[in-house]
Structure 1
């Protein structure tokens, strides 16, 4: 299946009202959020501080009269410059381009499986600025196998999990973690689609360098093809 065919396949699945949060939340309650380096408002915000960035995001949601902020696919962000895990000071190889879709909402918010699948792997990715507790689901739908990744979860989300454990569409999968466990971010879900997991387990790059971007754009298409926010 080509990358374009995979995108069309995901878009068709997305017509089925897929959700990672409570499906009773109206789509009008989701407001777009720009955390890219081109957002001039962020020049006066200390994005390295989870608390300060969280205050900015909550204010943005209130101004837009929403309940949840979302966005970030292929955004070039300055927030990763705080962490040696992403930043090697080389503009070609430093990782600053976000590959998932972020959903910003308070810690302990339940996260639901948008599609039926099984647990491929999970782990607590504890590098500074990393995912923290992470779950990867494997999906096999219409003879197509692919994966979805859920990052920045609570520790409790992975404590009693089993490899191969099935989850039905709409079943509670996890809860969100706070800054103490989620890589030091304001609470949010990192949701990412992965076509080829490349032998990763419990982890997969969620931020790309400029050099590797073309590969990741093909392998990790826009998660909003499924969620259609």
Structure 2
């Protein structure tokens, strides 16, 4: 029927960019945010609000709470805007999941739209539309939360601050030529056989950093 009507197949009919193309082209201006739920030893659940920059893979842990109310999350949005302004980071698009519509209210979105950003909600149960954030969730669980017992919010925040510093300043990323988020990319490959390295443990030995010995 489509052929008889002169309509080509969908891949050629759609003249606009694909979602993957949009993410690649606009990476410098995209910030993604979402909640991650972490189980504590007392049976309660902690809600961590985190954002990640698409271009640099830098993560920011905003705060954790046992009860993410609308007032709390709106205050975190305001705190994030101040942090972005202090660091000179320019953001045009903010992506968050539609699944958490109850938490990401219209008031939350209005904080960012008032600052000149465009808020993009992903489709319901479509994690690939927020793929970089989803991939980061897997890293957090594999490298930290699945490997330690977390007593309470205070203990959780201490571990998260350690992981935030490790992830941004030391952990290599394949998409960034094996450099860390807050480090410049190398101009050439360094021969590691010519250098001695020293290991520094973080989070009780769960995380390891390696530094060149002077």
Same fold (TM over 0.5): no
Q: Which TM bucket (shorter chain)?
A: under 0.3
Higher RCO (Cα < 8 Å, 6 or more apart): 1
- Larger helix fraction of residues: 2
TM-score, normalization by structure 1: 0.26
TM-score, normalization by structure 2: 0.27
